[in-house]
Amino acid sequence: MSQGLLRPVPRLFPALVLAGVSCALWAAWLGWDQQRDVQPDGSTTGPYEAWQVGGLVLSLLVPVYWAASRHHVAAAVAGTTVGLTVAAYGDWSDDASGLFMVGVTLVMLGSLAATAAVSAVVRAATRA
């Protein structure tokens, strides 16, 4: 096999690791809670609690910081975004309302914006 074909592999590795870590963190924080809570007035909430989403966000700061501080800003943004998008799609694709793609798109856009901002701040802070 030519060395030219193997050249992109080291560049893709951080993004693939971050995508896998993001999927695993989604499963650890959000994957086990699938029950909606019924309030006394009959309304439903959930299935996730605020502390679960907060835990996911705080847990994702560690791998994003790791990648961005090692000059893998694009991998931090793309890997985390892809991982969370795939996890959300897998978790919500059985939704009967058909609106799960709206949620998946919002997860994708939100994680893209948030990881880009965090990566830019980390990169600027570690550059100084």
> For 34-69, what is each residue's pLDDT tens digit?
777 777 887 877 788 889 999 999 999 999 999 999
Q: Average per-residue pLDDT in the chain?
A: 89
The string of DSSP codes covering the chain is --HHHHTHHHHHHHHHHHHHHHHHHHIIIIIT--PPEEPTTS-EE-SS-HHHHHHHHHHHHHHHHHHHHTT-HHHHHHHHHHHHHHHHHHHHTT-TTS-HHHHHHHHHHHHHHHHHHHHHHHHHHHH-
pTM: 0.87
